[in-house]
């Protein structure tokens, strides 16, 4: 873990203006107006100033990939050629590695699936080609697995239906095809079952009309076959009774 993390979240401090007299760009970039002390400066210990310098002078970014200052390296990664930035996949600072993960594409991201930092792995999971995402479905951090469930191809998604973390199963319930929701209709968590009930096909919705959670019954009442709603006309929850009776009345009027 980088030693700069304890500084994050504190109020920003005014960056000290760099001394241009010792700057290697004094007679070139400074003279040409391509940098400006206190505003557009790669030597300053200021991310804002470094960012402005790299944006204006991206051709210098690669030369800062080995800089000792983590923020200078992280910003350089954004502007350096992709192939050059890729060599920092194992940088000692997680912010730098996150910047690398945002630059890499395709199979190049495979090198970062086991990164020590969860934010790096979340970034990787958000950008990994779907065909390779299954490699991350058992990541130790549930937020990584949530991202995997969000993008995993439907054919592999049922393998995450028994994930130990509720938030992952909720994401699975949101993205599985409706015809494949059956196993999650028996989930131990009502929040998962509510999502299932909102998307269920009529037959599965009918099976959820006796659920212990009233919101599950309410969602199911809107999707189940109307003839199945008789069991809800005396439901203890007024909202559930109202939906059931309204749909049954409509059905009777149609007859």
CA quadruple 206, 211, 215, 218: dihedral sign: positive
Pairwise CA distance, residues 75 & 197, whole Å = 46
Q: Which two tokens stand for residue 142?
A: 């549930």
In 3-state terms, what secondary structure has residue 209?
Answer: coil
Contact 49, 38 (CB under 8 A): yes
In 3-state terms, what secondary structure has residue 69?
Answer: coil
Task: Select the more confidently predicted residue: 136 or 15.
Answer: 136
Q: In the predicted model, what is the mean pLDDT of residues 13-28?
A: 72
In 3-state terms, what secondary structure has residue 179?
Answer: helix
Confidence tier at 252 by pLDDT (50, 70, 90):
very low
Pairwise CA distance, residues 117 & 120, whole Å = 5
Q: Which two tokens stand for residue 190?
A: 């009502």
Confidence tier at 112 by pLDDT (50, 70, 90):
very high
Pairwise CA distance, residues 211 & 224, whole Å = 13
45: how many CB neighbours lie within 10 A of its CB? 14
Residues 6+ apart with CB under 8 A from 21: none
Among 238, 164, 179, smallest CA distance to 196 is for 179
Q: Give the whole-number percent of the chain exceeding pLDDT 90.
A: 81
Helices (H) and strands (E) in the chain, counts: 11, 0
Give residue 159's Cα distance to chain centre: 20
| pLDDT 10s digits, 62-73 | 999 999 999 999
| pLDDT 10s digits, 135-150 | 999 999 999 999 999 9
pTM of structure: 0.84
**Does 5 score more than 70 pLDDT?**
no
Among 26, 16, 97, 82, smallest CA distance to 49 is for 16
């Amino acid at each position: 873990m980088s030693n700069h993390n304890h500084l994050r979240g504190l109020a920003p401090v005014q960056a000290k203006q760099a001394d241009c007299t010792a700057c290697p760009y004094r007679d070139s970039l400074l003279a040409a107006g391509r940098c400006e002390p206190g505003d557009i400066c790669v030597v300053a210990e200021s991310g804002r100033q470094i960012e402005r310098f790299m944006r204006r002078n991206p051709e210098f970014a690669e030369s800062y990939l080995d800089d000792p200052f983590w923020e200078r390296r992280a910003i350089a990664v954004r502007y350096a050629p992709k192939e050059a930035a890729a060599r920092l996949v194992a940088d000692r600072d997680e912010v730098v590695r996150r910047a690398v993960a945002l630059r890499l594409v395709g199979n190049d991201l495979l090198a970062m699936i086991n990164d020590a930092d969860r934010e790096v792995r979340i970034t990787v999971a958000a950008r990994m080609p779907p065909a390779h995402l299954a490699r991350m479905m058992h990541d130790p951090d549930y937020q990584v697995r949530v991202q995997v469930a969000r993008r995993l191809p439907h054919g592999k998604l049922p393998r995450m239906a028994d994930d130990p973390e509720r938030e992952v199963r909720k994401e699975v319930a949101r993205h599985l095809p409706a015809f494949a929701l059956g196993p999650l209709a028996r989930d131990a968590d009502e929040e998962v079952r509510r999502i299932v009930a909102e998307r269920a096909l009529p037959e599965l919705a009918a099976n959820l009309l006796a659920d212990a959670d009233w919101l599950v019954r309410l969602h199911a009442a809107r999707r189940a076959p109307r003839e199945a709603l008789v069991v809800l006309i005396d439901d203890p929850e007024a909202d559930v009774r109202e939906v059931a009776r309204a749909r049954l009345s409509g059905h009777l009027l149609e007859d």
